[in-house]
């Protein structure tokens, strides 16, 4: 199931040409993944406090297709694809209304792999069972 989160482009997100700086798409995607977890009732601080785990980006690949500009209203999607016992894979897209017939223009698309880490050792560990159940029950 795809989760969608709205993001507004602020002046601070842009470069001197008024275009979103490339690295800020990663921030938009990170926020959307955090809100996806929150929508499942999973808060990052609770994962740390109760389970001693954190999620960290393991790898990613991005394709930039069109620029976003100051004050654009964007939509960032999160589509879980691969759910392993110690990692999660996502397809993410950043879209903007194209202005005709409710069509959206794809600005940036990425594949992101997240690893579950022990917060103390920063070594991979399985996603806690109750957290895994929440993540997988949304299918």
Average pLDDT (45-63) is 97
Total count of residues recorded for the chain: 139
| β-strand pairing of 53-64 with 104-118 | antiparallel
Residue 83 to residues 58, 109, 135: CA-CA distances in angstroms? Answer: 14, 19, 8
Give the H/E segment covering residue 74. Answer: strand 73-83
**3-class SS of residue 120:** coil
> Structurally, how many domains does the chain consist of?
1
Confidence tier at 87 by pLDDT (50, 70, 90): very high
**Residue 15 designated active-site:** yes
Show the beta-strand stretches assigned E in 40-134.
53-64, 73-83, 87-97, 104-118
Q: Which domain holds residue 19?
A: 3-137
Residue 139 has pLDDT above 70, yes or no: no
Q: Which of 15, 49, 63, 129 is catalytic?
A: 15
- Give per-residue pLDDT as tens, 5-20: 999 999 999 999 999 9
CATH number of 10's domain: 3.10.129.10
Query: Across all residues in the chain, what is the average pLDDT?
Result: 94
Taking the model in full, what pTM does it have? 0.92
Tell me how far the alpha carbon of residue 100 is from its chain's centroid.
27
Per the CB < 8 A criterion, the answer to whether 87 and 116 are in contact is: yes
Average pLDDT (122-131) is 96
Q: What was the pLDDT predicted at 103?
A: 86
| β-strand pairing of 3-8 with 53-64 | unpaired
């Amino acid at each position: 199931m795809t989760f969608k989160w709205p993001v507004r482009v602020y002046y601070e997100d842009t470069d001197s040409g008024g275009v979103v700086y490339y690295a800020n798409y990663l921030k938009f995607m990170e926020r959307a993944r955090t809100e996806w977890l929150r929508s499942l009732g999973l808060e990052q601080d609770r994962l740390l406090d109760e389970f001693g785990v954190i999620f960290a980006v393991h790898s990613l690949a991005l394709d930039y297709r069109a620029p976003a500009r100051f004050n654009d209203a964007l939509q960032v999607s999160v589509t879980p694809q691969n759910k392993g016992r110690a990692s999660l894979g996502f397809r993410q897209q950043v879209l903007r209304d194209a202005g005709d017939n409710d069509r959206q223009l794809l600005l940036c698309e990425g594949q992101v792999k997240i690893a579950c880490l022990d917060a103390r050792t920063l070594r991979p560990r399985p996603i806690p069972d109750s957290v895994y159940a929440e993540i997988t029950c949304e299918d």
